[in-house]
Amino acid sequence: MELGSFQENGSQYRIATPRTPARWFNYLFNDSYYVEVSQTGQGKSMVFQPKHRTFNREGYKYFYLRDGDTGEVWCPAYQPLKTQPEQYECIHALGWSEIRSVHNGIRVSIKVFVPVDEMCEVWRVTVTNETDSRRRLSLFSAFALENGGVMGSVCDFDANAQVLSSYSYPYHVFYEEKEKCDNHSNRVYLFADRTVESFECSENRFFGGDDTGELPPQVAAGKCSNGKAEGENPIGVLQHALSIAPGGSETINLVMGCARTPEEAAETRVRLLESGFDGMLEAIDRYWSTISNTFTVETPDSDLNAFMNFWLKKQIDLQTRTNRMSTYCPIRNQLQDAMGFSMIDLDGALAAMEVVLSGQSRSGFIQQWIMTDGSPPSKLCLLTHKDGPVWLIICFTALVNQSGRPGLLDRQVGFKDGGEASIYEHLLMAVDYMAQDTGSHGLCRMGDGDWNDPINGPGRRGKGESVWSTMALKYAILTLLPLCRLRGDEAAAVHLAEIADRLDRAVNLAAWDGAWYLAGFDDEGEAFGTAKDAEGQLFLNTQTWAIMSQCARGERLDQCLAAIDSLDTPAGPLLLKPAFSDWNAKWGRISVKLAGTTENGSVYCHASMFKAFADCQAGRGGQAYETIRKTLPTNPDNPPARNLQVPIFIPNYYFGLIESPNFGKSSHHNQTGTVGWMLWTVMDYVLGVRATAEGLAIAPCIPVEWPFYKVTRTFGGANYVISVFNPDRLETGETDMIVNGSAHRGTLLPCEPGAAYQVEVTLRKRG
């Protein structure tokens, strides 16, 4: 049975059945609101204010249609009655989802969207009569609402305002917190754009007890109780009567959202009904059209095209604008998301990065885990991960290159402990802090962890060293050096080059394990991540970053690549092997994570992109593409029927125990550092349309099977249409270029703001 497929050039995904292997959800959002919508319309709703709150307790949104003449009841969105429709499909688009079904001559469309700038979600239900006789129907729309727990809740319907609302005051502990809670949108409302026939506020009364998925007695009877709910699970049920002539249609717009007061909810209804819902949908389409058109790619892989042109852009937009829907996070997530976001919204990315940078101290250090809402530090925020400064360098240099505006480095940004300096000076301080904070082997100290947060054992006493952090610092320096030289700061360039050489020597003297680079040294100076370890012998990241940082050369480069290839699976490379099976005091928390999940031996998609990036550095275009292809949920070697995920976002990881029947299953987590790195790696390093501070360079690294691809991209205010031909079926090589009909020498393209360039590139053998 077909589960689904892309349509509209990849901008939509059509699900052909309500019975998918897992909940196949789309996610719709703006800066203050988020909702998940499954193939049957189910999913959580969240508001950001600043604490993130899921306010539809069970996540259900049920629609029942009742025939007034026969008493028949069915669910046009399948759940909960599991009505078997004659036709059924769900379309997930960038800014909306739509369920379409046909049952007994009644066609129903249920379209849901989140307006661009409203704290609500809109459900547009259109019912069409395809029979030869008038149909008298009732639509019952039932939405789960928030239960106030120990604070209690009350739910009622205001007949004058035509608004149903549920209210519960937020739980808080300290007396002083009450004033803050007053300003939150603590009231959940539900209303429609036509008069309500009847309503229900008590979940227990509506379902006649527990929700068992059976026909609710009130729907069977054709009328709700019009009753209030107090101190119990609330529900929002609105009944609307429909009388539809043959061939006719009726549409009802239902809105659920959050407000501070009943008056605000009532005013929202008046305002939205006056402005109209068609304009909201048009604004959504305009927004996503603008995002989608920032650049486009046309390769022989239609799935890759769909993700690059649409779905990765949406995912990075979500992660950057909502801070991955969290107020508790590591700055490396914020920075890497903004790095990817810079490819579609440079100003938004720069603003996000500068907020992070302002948390740096004048010493050059920056705390890795932070609370973004002003809450007291807790959990990982109480620990000291030492890799924060390196991400400032990596991500800011990437943003400057994407902008083509090296002058951005002169922007002034404050320090956490007072004063301010240019971005450039901030980055130099970050280098110096990490370069001086080294251990007995000359490697960077890791503190309570590096990129791999749960390795919290080796450095907990302050002496443990991270090989990955050391490689990452050298890589960061290599990205900063060209900007130093472009500024004419030769003294800084010499200083950075000396540090890079010292780090390289330390890595190759202390961290080579004979066939790969080990992971680090613990507080006692004992190596970990070596062939001598029973578990956790081989780590992907220290091999990929050895290549990215140019620490691995000659025979060691070859051995490094062989080690990387030994980690490969049909779902992509394992993050480490063997996975930990039990507590290991030296390693810490990573060892008690379930084997095959997250950092303990999964196919961790973020690290897979480091691998694809390293493949490009090593000239392995075919391997880079294969890793990217495997990371996509459309991977034919681990397809949606096996990984169980709707293919419109990249998951955090795939289950990594290859001998398990669960191997390759998606985590279904749609928040991951993979997204920014995939956008960057594919555009700049595989397709080779590479942004640098000096201009747009062309350096493809592609699979030999690709004869042609095309890229449209804006850079430095100029517009480029770049066609790349590969007649000799090469991975890499030299390029012959024609720009606007004339031969062009060199690898950098001309760039005049406002100009348009037609570029033809032919890849040929070197020499």
Q: What does each C-alpha distance from 140 to 18, 66, 77, 301 come to in angstroms?
A: 20, 8, 12, 44
Question: Which contiguous run of DSSP H or E holds residue 181?
Answer: helix 177-182
Can you read off the two tokens belonging to residue 687?
């397709």
Q: What does each C-alpha distance from 31 to 35, 96, 514 come to in angstroms?
A: 12, 16, 50
State the residue for tokens 């250090």. Answer: 365
Q: Kindly write down the DSSP assignment for every residue of 82-143, as one continuous string.
A: T---SEEEEEEESSEEEEEEEETTEEEEEEEE--TT-SEEEEEEEEEE-SSS-EEEEEEEEE
SS (H, E, C) 415-431: CCCCCEEEHHHHHHHHH
Tell me the residue ranges of DSSP E strands in 269-374: 295-298, 328-330, 369-371
Sheet (strand 527-528) strand order:
465-466, 520-521, 527-528
Q: How far apart are CA 668 and CA 633, in angstroms?
A: 10
* Helix and strand numbers, DSSP H then E, in the chain: 19, 39
Looking from the CA of 128 toward its CB, the CA atoms found within 13 Å total 9
Q: How far apart are CA 314 and CA 320, in angstroms?
A: 10
Q: How far apart are CA 1 and CA 19, in angstroms?
A: 10
The secondary structure of residue 10, as a DSSP letter, is: G
Cβ–Cβ contacts within 10 Å for residue 718, how many? 19
Q: Determine the residue type at 517.
A: Y
Whether residue 738 contacts residue 653, with contact meaning beta carbons closer than 8 Å, is answered with no
Q: Determine the residue type at 732.
A: T
State yes or no: cis peptide before 454, omega within 30 of 0. Answer: no
Q: How far apart are CA 66 and CA 218, in angstroms?
A: 11
Q: How far apart are CA 418 and CA 410, in angstroms?
A: 18
Q: Determine the residue type at 437.
A: D
The residue among 470, 454, 469, 465 whose CA lies nearest residue 601 is: 454
Could you list the active site residues? 453
